[in-house]
Amino acid sequence: MRRGFSTMYGRAPDGQGDTSRTGQSGEQGEYVDVTLNRYATLVNQSVVRTTAEKPAFRAIATNADSASLEQASFGQGLLEYYSNTHSVADRDWEMVEIGVICSEGWEIYGWDATAGKNITDFTDEAALNEGDVEVHATTPFRVAYDPDAESIDRLKWAAYKRRYNRFDLAMSVEARGDATSVATAQKLRDMTADDGLRDDFGAGASDMDLDMDMGAGRYTTAAGASADLVWIWELRHLPSPALPNGRLLRFASGDCVVYDGAYPYAADDLHMYRFSPATVVGSIAGHAPSFDLIGLQELKDTVATQAATAANAGGITNLWSRTGDKPSLSQVVGSMNFFQSANKPEKIDGVELSPQIPAFDAMLDENMQSRMGESDVSMGDVPRGMPGNLAALLEAKTVQYASRSQASYAHVLERSRTGILKLLQRFANSERVAVIGGISGDYEHKSWSSKDLRGMDRFIVESVSPISQSYAGRVDSARELLEHGEITAQQYLLMKETGRLEPVFEGKLATEMGIRKERQMLAKGIGLSPVDAAESFRKGLPVFVDDGKQHVRPLIYDKHWLHILEDLSALAAPEARDDVTVTVAVLGVVEERVRLMRLVDPVMLAVLGYPPEIQQAITMSEMSEMPGRMGPSAAPAPGGPDESGDTSAPRAGIQGLPSGAPSISAPKPAKPPRDPITGVQAPSPVEGIE
């Protein structure tokens, strides 16, 4: 881990190199020392590949009721707010980078009671803040955990150390008011610069932890702000049979305990999350393929030094003069070597670079790329003439190689975001305000507290292609939607101007969400509202009454065909059909939607986007049932008078004639022919017509 850290930041594996300059070595300074950093290039590529798939978080509701679903939707917007305001994505990047270098990168969450807005009148009493989530990434040098645990997700305890300002910490401890806290606060204030930078476990200013911070010199001075820093260890222990209340312990040394009490967080979460590119088989220890690059990087530095030394020696100017000559200073300025002899020496060829050295350097590059699962194509160096399908295959293989690391990353994100949810549900009791984004991407200030998140259970992660998140990718998607008639030309132009697709689909997303919620209600047996039988009989249509309970309430201008398909899927499972309550609820809602669909104006059918075949079916159904139209359903009773009193023939009202126009009789249907064998007249197909 230490060698990897040193190499990453240009100091070579042994810590003696420097990529920012060349050096000299050898008995007479004849070697030109060069330190390269191919290692950092491959590490950065691995980090980018792991984090390139922008995760999409989906909130899971505790129940299927609409209140829980709404809280889950709000929680998803709140997660975006915390990601932006707390730079959580930056901490994710740091965690992955540390993990690729050191085999383990840690992200630690907690609740900072001193953060957030002040909620008291601190002129009359001690200041009290609303508190907020805190998050930071750290190296494995600062974390301790049980190496015998079954898995990293089932740790019962873990500890980490972090630097704090001892005077701020002393004020927080002293505010408790008891004698022990006052004494502890005084111990913190009395710490010297050396004490403040050292703990009982030997973590001093010159330890490897500070070396890894690339600035050990900053912490060795007794003056300045660094003298105020003190190491604090924090031990987190989950509740267990041996420790029913768990434990949270913070201490600067064995005799300076800052806090000791029951575990305050969720009983199943340490809120300490580890990313590892791989693990050691048979243990929970992490492993990183980058470890295998460090030795190869040393060889590359050796090759570079040889090449630089040869080039330097080959470029030296040699001057000769006869012994006894006294050349002036101007004659030798700029000369690297000057020698004298009685006779002019013979020509000697300069130092030449062996052709094996460049070949060996290329072999090192190839091996380093191969170990990290990269290729020339994935590194952006596509060989000339390579077929496109072969380049795509190589890139796909590289993505497959990184799948294990990406899966680990997604798992950490899922657990850490759920951890934020648990912290807010437990501690965010005071009313607070967050800037929440809606479906369309518009933002608003919304008041909230922990009660608004009780209907949420957890977050799950769905990977989203980074192409879809780019402007070019969104324009391409919008163009495809325009070609298929899913959006209008105005919406396409709006998307190109704003770069956002969300406003285009706000209505569709809201409709889809409503349909999904309706299906979930039906699956629980929640159907239509009760019907007022007497009023319904009088009006000839269902009249629903409000009983104060939750019900499905179809509206005439719903997109009924979409609702019906989704509603019927609630009866797809055989066990759902065995439940009479669910079956009655589903069929009742479907029948009501069919009734409402027949009442929709033809113009609104087109506006709502009804498919042509459904519009045609509705029109045919209306024609067969509408009074005043010719057909069996419109025929008067046999022998009954028409509007003029004429009983000679059945009448059919003809719409569209002016007032006072004479009645027009419908033509009599033709008599069916007699049976050619028996001569019997067949009866008329229209009842009452001879």
* Digit-coded pLDDT (tens) for 535-567: 888 877 788 888 888 889 898 889 888 899 889
Tell me how many helices (H) and strands (E) the chain has: 22, 18
Query: Would 340 be classed as within a structural domain?
Result: no
Contact in structure between 103 and 140 (CB atoms under 8 Å): yes
Residues 495 and 543 in one domain: no
Residues 581 and 480 in one domain: no
Q: Measure the CA–CA gap between 43 and 296, rounded to whole angstroms.
A: 14
Least confident residue range of 73-77, 95-99, 237-241 = 73-77
pLDDT band at 104 (very low <50, low <70, confident <90, very high): very high
CA distances from 592 to 301, 544, 571, 617, 690 (A): 79, 11, 17, 17, 41
Q: Tell me the pLDDT tens digit for each residue of 496-548.
A: 776 666 666 667 777 887 888 888 889 888 999 888 888 888 877 788 888 88
Least confident residue range of 317-321, 354-358, 374-378, 403-407 = 317-321
Q: What residues make up the domain containing 494?
A: 471-500
Q: Tell me the pLDDT tens digit for each residue of 111-168.
A: 988 787 776 665 555 567 788 899 999 999 999 999 889 889 889 999 999 988 889 8
Residues 576 and 601 in one domain: yes
Q: Tell me the pLDDT tens digit for each residue of 438-458.
A: 444 455 667 777 887 877 777
Tokens of 499: 């770069």
Q: What is the mean pLDDT of residues 178-191?
A: 90
Give the domain-ending residue among 626, 649, 670.
Answer: 626
pTM: 0.67
Residues 553 and 567 in one domain: yes
Q: Tell me the pLDDT tens digit for each residue of 467-483.
A: 555 566 677 778 887 88
Q: Tell me the pLDDT tens digit for each residue of 294-335.
A: 999 999 999 999 888 888 776 666 666 777 766 655 555 554
- The more confidently predicted of residues 121 and 687 is 121
pLDDT at 226: 58
Helices (H), 107-264: 166-174, 179-190, 193-196, 208-212
Angle at CA 109, nearest 5°, toward 278 and 263? 110
The H or E element that residue 436 is part of is: strand 432-437
pLDDT at 107: 96
Residues 531 and 496 in one domain: no
Q: Measure the CA–CA gap between 586 and 593, rounded to whole angstroms.
A: 11
Q: Per DSSP, what are the bridge partners of residue 320? A: 339
DSSP SS3 for 57: strand
Query: Would 532 be classed as within a structural domain?
Result: yes
pLDDT band at 110 (very low <50, low <70, confident <90, very high): very high
C-alpha count within 13 angstroms, C-beta hemisphere, residue 610: 23
Angle at CA 336, nearest 5°, toward 333 and 340? 85
Strands 337-341 and 318-322: parallel
Residues 571 and 589 in one domain: yes
Query: Would 253 be classed as within a structural domain?
Result: no
Query: Would 517 be classed as within a structural domain?
Result: yes
Give the domain-ending residue among 500, 519, 544.
Answer: 500
- Residue 35 CB burial class (10 angstroms; 0-12, 13-18, ≥19): buried
Angle at CA 295, nearest 5°, toward 292 and 300? 120
Query: Would 594 be classed as within a structural domain?
Result: yes
Residue (of 371, 276, 353, 391) closest to 38 by Cα position: 371
pLDDT at 103: 93
Contact in structure between 196 and 229 (CB atoms under 8 Å): yes
Q: What is the mean pLDDT of residues 3-32?
A: 87
Contacts of 106 (CB under 8 A, 6+ apart): 95, 98, 137, 138, 139, 140, 142, 143, 160, 272, 273, 274, 275
What share of the chain in percent tops pLDDT 90? 22
Per DSSP, the residues of 61-120 read ESSSSHHHHHHHHHHHHHHHHHHHHTTHHHHHHHHHHHHHHHS-EEEEEEEETT-S-B-S
- The more confidently predicted of residues 597 and 402 is 597
pLDDT band at 39 (very low <50, low <70, confident <90, very high): very high
End-to-end CA distance of the chain: 104
Q: Per DSSP, what are the bridge partners of residue 33? A: 23
pLDDT at 468: 57
pLDDT at 508: 73
Q: Tell me the pLDDT tens digit for each residue of 628-656.
A: 443 333 334 444 444 444 444 444 444 44
pLDDT at 58: 76
Residues 493 and 550 in one domain: no
Contacts of 241 (CB under 8 A, 6+ apart): none
CA distances from 89 to 95, 391, 405 (A): 10, 31, 17
pLDDT at 585: 92
Residues 520 and 599 in one domain: yes
Q: Tell me the pLDDT tens digit for each residue of 670-686.
A: 566 666 666 666 665 55
pLDDT at 489: 83
User: Mean pLDDT for the chain?
Assistant: 77
Contact in structure between 196 and 252 (CB atoms under 8 Å): no
- Angle separating helix axes 580-599 and 612-625, nearest 10 degrees: 80
Residues 479 and 516 in one domain: no
Residues 492 and 553 in one domain: no
Domain count, the chain: 2
Query: Would 603 be classed as within a structural domain?
Result: yes
C-alpha count within 13 angstroms, C-beta hemisphere, residue 311: 10
Q: Tell me the pLDDT tens digit for each residue of 216-272.
A: 333 333 344 456 888 899 999 999 999 999 999 999 888 899 999 999 998 999 999
Query: Would 27 be classed as within a structural domain?
Result: no
Query: Would 485 be classed as within a structural domain?
Result: yes
Q: What is the mean pLDDT of residues 55-76?
A: 73
What is the Cα gyration radius of the chain? 40
Contact in structure between 669 and 655 (CB atoms under 8 Å): no
Q: Measure the CA–CA gap between 473 and 211, rounded to whole angstroms.
A: 43
Q: Measure the CA–CA gap between 134 and 420, rounded to whole angstroms.
A: 9
Does the pLDDT value for residue 605 go beyond 50? yes
pLDDT at 646: 46
Contacts of 194 (CB under 8 A, 6+ apart): 204, 205, 222
Hey, how many other C-beta atoms are within 10 angstroms of the C-beta on 652?
19
Residues 601 and 528 in one domain: yes
- Residue 139 CB burial class (10 angstroms; 0-12, 13-18, ≥19): buried
Q: What is the mean pLDDT of residues 36-64?
A: 82
Residues 578 and 613 in one domain: yes
Contacts of 366 (CB under 8 A, 6+ apart): none
pLDDT at 183: 93
Give the domain-ending residue among 607, 626, 645.
Answer: 626
